[in-house]
Amino acid sequence: MAQDATLIPIGELLTKAGILTEMSLEDALNKAKERKLPLGKVLIMLGFIKQKDLKAAVEAQSLINDGMVAPDMAANALGLVSKNDLKFTEALGQLGWHKEKSGGTNRLGELLVEAEAVTWEQLDEALKTSTETGLPVGRVLVFRKYIANEVLLACLTAQKLIREGVINREQAVQGLKAVRLRQIGFEESLQQSGVYRPTGRRSTPLGYILVQAGLIDQMQLMTCMELALTNEKQIGEIFVEQKLMSRSLLKAAIRVQEMVDNGTLTSELASHALRQIFSEGCSAVKAIAQVGVPKVGPKERSLMQELLSLAGLADPKDIDQVLGPGSGASVDIEKELLLSGIVSETMLFALLRAVYLIQNKFLVQEDAIMALHQCKLSNVSLDEALKELGWTATTRRRVV
C-alpha cells in the first residue's frame, strides 16, 4: 500500500464528495463525542446523510486503505452514489475502475467469506446490524454465533500481517481456513504451511497483558482490536477512546509492557503491578518496585545497604542507622529510608527495582551500582537509567 493511500476519515471522504458540508461535519463530530457514538450513526441520526451514503463511504474507505482506489476517484464515485441509485462498485465502474483487475480487498468480512467462515448473507446481515448499532462487524458476527472468538482473532491478526507486508491476501485466506478446520492458531497455521517464520523476540501485546491482569475482558479486547485496524490507530488509543482507561494509565501500562518485553519483569508480576496502578492510581515506578520486592528480608536489607553505599547514594553511617542490625527486623525499611531523608522516593523505588533485578539475575551487582548512580545523576527511574545506558531496548512503539 502506498504511503499516500493511508486511511482517510469517513467525514473527510463525505465532505470531499460534496455530500456533507464542513459545518455539518463539525456539528456531527461534536455530537458523536458527547454521546460516545460512531460518527456514521450520528450523521444518519441528524439526517445529514442517508444509509446508502454511509455504506458506500465505508466501502470506499476500505478500498483506499488497501491501495485499490485513489481518494479522488473514491470521492467522485461517492458523489455518483448519492445522486443516483447505484452501488459503490457500480459508480466506480462508470469512472473506469474494474474490480477484476484489482482483486479482492483485505476487509475483515471479505476475508472471512473467502475463507468459508461465513456466507455473504451472514456478512450482509452483520454489516447492517453494525451500521445500526455502531458495533464492529466482527463482534456482530461473534454475537450471532456465525464465528468463534478464535476465528475473529485470527482474522484480525491476518489483516495486521497483510498491512505490514508480512503475508499476502491468498496466504491469509489459506491460514484462516486452517484455523477454522483444524482449530489451531493463525500464526501456527502460517508456520506449518511454511509461509511465515517469526524473527527475533516479539513484543508482548498490550491487550494480552491487560486481559491477563483482569483489567479488560476478551470481548473488549476483540472489539478494540477491530476498531484499531479499521481506523488505523494504535490499540492504546482505542482503549482510551472506549473509556477503558485514562491516558495516564495507558502510559503506565505501556511502561509495564516494555519491561515484560525486555525480560526485566515477569508476566505475573506485570499483572500484579497493573492491578495496583489501576486500583490505587499509583505510579508505574512505585507499583513495579513494590511487587518486585514485596518483603524486605535480611538478604534484601544487606543488599540494599551495599548498593546505597557503593553507588554513593548515602553516607555509610546514615545507612547503618536505618538498615543496620540494630534497626530491628520489624522496621518498615521503605518508610524509614524516606523519613530519614537518606533517599528520595524516586531513588527508593530504583533501589527496590535494583534488588529485584539482581535477585533474578538480570543485572549483576556492579551493573546495578552503575545504573543507580545514573539514576542519581539524571533523577530518573532505574529502567529509564538502563535505557540511558543502552542496556535495554525501547519497545514503546509496539503497543498492539
Render pLDDT for 222-266 as a digit per residue (tens, 0 to 9).
Answer: 888 888 877 777 888 889 888 888 888 888 888 888 888 777 778
Are 59 and 98 found together in one domain?
yes
| Total structural domains within the chain | 4
Residues 183, 280 within the same domain: no
Distance separating alpha carbons of residues 274 and 283, to the nearest angstrom: 10
Both 95 and 137 in one domain: the answer is: no
Which domain-ending residue is among 159, 180, 199? Answer: 199
What was the pLDDT predicted at 97? 78
Residue that is last in its domain, among 102, 119, 137? 102
Are 366 and 336 contained in the same domain? Answer: yes
Q: For 19, phi and psi rounded to 5 degrees? A: -85, -30
Are 1 and 97 part of one and the same domain? Answer: yes
CA dist., res. 55 & res. 36, Å (int): 20
Whether pLDDT at 393 is above 60: no
In angstroms, the CA 291 to CA 273 distance is 6
Q: Which three cell numbers stand for residue 166?
A: 508480512
Those residues whose C-beta lies under 8 Å from the C-beta of residue 4, and which sit 6 or more positions away, are: none
Q: How many CA atoms lie within 13 A of 136 on its CB side?
A: 23
**pLDDT attached to residue 104:** 61
- pLDDT band at 396; cut points 50, 70, 90: very low
Question: Average pLDDT, stretch 303-321?
Answer: 79
Q: Is residue 94 part of a domain?
A: yes
Ranges 80-89, 298-307, 320-329: which has the least confidence: 320-329
Please state the pTM of the whole predicted model.
0.57
pLDDT of the residue at 332: 63
Greater pLDDT, 174 or 282: 174
Any domain includes 172:
yes
Question: Is 399 part of a structural domain of the chain?
Answer: no
Q: Is 216 inside any structural domain? A: yes
Closest CA to 16 of 61, 64, 79: 79
Task: For residue 394, name the pLDDT band (cuts at 50, 70, 90).
Answer: very low
Instruction: Indicate the residue among 290, 311, 334 that finishes a domain.
Output: 290
Angle between helices 247-261 and 267-280 (to 10 degrees): 160
| Residues 238 and 334 both lie in one domain | no
In this structure, the number of other CB atoms found within 10 A of the CB of residue 159 comes to 20
The confidence band for 4, taking pLDDT boundaries of 50, 70 and 90, is: very low
Owning domain of residue 46 = 1-102
Judge whether 398 lies within some domain. no
CA 320/CA 303 separation, integer angstroms: 13
Task: State the Cα–Cα distance between residues 339 and 350, nearest whole angstrom.
Answer: 17
373 Cβ contact partners less than 8 Å away, ≥ 6 residues apart:
311, 312
Q: Are residues 240 and 337 in the same domain?
A: no
- Output the DSSP codes for 315-356: -HHHHHHHHSGGG-TTS-HHHHHHHHTSS-HHHHHHHHHHHH
What grid cell was written down for 113?
467469506
Q: How far apart are CA 136 and CA 141, in angstroms?
A: 9
CB 209 within 8 A of CB 270: yes
Q: Residue 56 — pLDDT band, cuts 50, 70, 90? A: confident
Task: Give a yes or no: residue 394 inside a domain.
Answer: no
Asked if residue 397 belongs to a domain, the reply is no
The answer to which of 91-95, 286-290, 322-326 has the lowest mean pLDDT is 322-326
| Alpha carbons 36 and 17: distance in angstroms, whole number | 26
